[in-house]
Amino acid sequence: MSAVGELTQIVSGRKKGGAKEKHRDNKAGLIFMAPWLVGLLAITLIPMIASFALAFTDYSLLAPPEFVGLANIREMISDTRLHNSLVVTFIYVFVGTPLQLVAALLLAVVLNAGIKGLAFYRSIFYLPSLLGGSVAIAILWRQMFGANGLINQVGGMLGFENLPGWVSNPDTALSTIILLHVWTFGSPMIIFLAGLRQIPEMYYEAASVDGATKLAKFFRITLPLLTPIIFFNVVLQVINAFQSFTQAFVVSGGTGGPSDSTMFYTLYLYQKGFTQFDMGYASAMAWLLLIIVAIFTAINFFVSKFWVFYDD
Partner 1 sequence: MFTRRNALALGLAVPGLAGLAACGPNASGGSGGGGGEGSAATLRLAWWGNPTRDENTQNVVEAYKEVDDAVTINPEPGEWSGYWDKLATQTAGGDFPDIVQMDEKYLAEYGGRGALLDLAGAGLNTEDFVPGSVEVGELPDVGLAAINAGLNSFAFLLNPVVFEEAGVDIPDDTTWTWDDLIDTAVAISENTEDGTFGMTQMGTQQGLFQVYVRQAGQDQYKDGAAGFDIETATGWYEWTKKIQDSGAGPDASIAVEDAAKAIDQSLFATGKAAITVAWSNQVVAHDGLVPEGVVVLRPPSMTGSAADAQLWYKASMYWAVSAKTADPEAAVAFVDYLVNSPDAGAILSVERGVPGNLTVREAIVPDLDEANKKAVDFLESIESELGDAPEITPQGGGQFEDILTRAGEEMLFGTLTPAEAGQRVLDDLTAALG
Partner 2 sequence: MTDLQSRPTPAAASGGGDSTAARVAPRPRPKRLVRRGVRHAIMIVASIVMIYPLLWMVVSSLRPNDEIFRNPGLFPISLDFSNYARGWESLAQPFSHYLMNSTLLVLGCVIGNLIACSLTAYAFARLKFWGRNIAFAVMLMTLMLPIHVVIVPQYIIFSQTGWVNTMLPLILPKFLATDAFFVFLMVQFIRGIPRELDEAARIDGCGHFRIFFQVILPLMLPALATTTIFTFMWMWNDFFGSLIYLTTPENFTVPLALKSFLDTQGSSDWGAMFAMSVVSLIPLFLVFLFGQRFLVKGFATTGIK
Question: Of the listed pieces 66-74, 88-96, 154-162, 195-203, which binds partner 2 according to CB under 8 A?
Answer: 195-203
- Which of positions 173-192 make contact with partner 2 (CB under 8 A)? 183, 187, 190-191
Instruction: Please give the C-alpha separations between residue 86 and each of 177, 247, 290, 311, in angstroms, as whole numbers.
Output: 16, 16, 13, 38
Residue 260, binding choice from partner 2, partner 1, none, Cβ under 5 to 8 Å by partner class:
partner 1
What's the first-to-final CA gap in the chain, in angstroms? 8
- 122's contact among partner 2, partner 1, none, with CB below 5 to 8 A by partner kind, is partner 2
- Shortest Cβ 214–partner 2 spacing (Å): 7
Distances (CA, A) of 287 to 51, 53, 54: 8, 10, 10
How near is the Cβ of 277 to partner 1 at its closest, in Å?
6
Across 163-193, b (16+ Cβ under 10 Å) vs e yields: bebbbbbeebbbbbbbbbbbbbbbbbbbbbb
State the nearest-atom distance from the C-beta of 148 to partner 2, in Å.
9
User: Are the beta carbons of 89 and 229 closer than 8 angstroms?
Assistant: no
H or E stretch at 57: strand 57-58
Helix (H) or strand (E) holding 156: helix 150-157
Min dist CB 12 to partner 2, Å, is: 13
Q: Does 163 sit near partner 2 (CB under 8 A)?
A: no
In sequence order, the 6+-apart residues with CB closer than 8 A to the CB of 88 are: 174, 260, 261, 262, 263, 264, 265
273-312 binders of partner 2 (CB under 8 A): 273-274, 279, 282-283, 286-287, 289-290, 293-294, 297, 310-312
CA distance 22 to 212: 40
In this chain, which of 167, 178, 193, 241 binds partner 2, going by CB under 8 A? 193
Could you give the 3-state DSSP secondary structure of residue 294?
helix
135 touches partner 2 (CB under 8 A) = yes
If binding is defined by CB under 8 A, does position 116 make contact with partner 2?
yes
Binding site for partner 1 (CB under 8 A): 41, 45-47, 49-50, 52-54, 57, 59-65, 139, 142, 146-148, 164-165, 167-170, 252-255, 257-260, 271, 274-277, 279
Smaller CB separation from partner 2, 91 or 110? 110
With binding defined as CB under 8 A, does residue 90 bind partner 2?
no
Q: Which is nearer to partner 2, 25 or 66 (CB)?
A: 25
Q: Residue 119 interacts with partner 2 (CB under 8 A)?
A: yes
- φ, ψ for residue 280, nearest 5 deg: -60, -50
Q: How far is the CB of 297 from partner 1 (least distance, A)?
A: 21
Q: Is 164 in the site for partner 2 (CB under 8 A)?
A: no
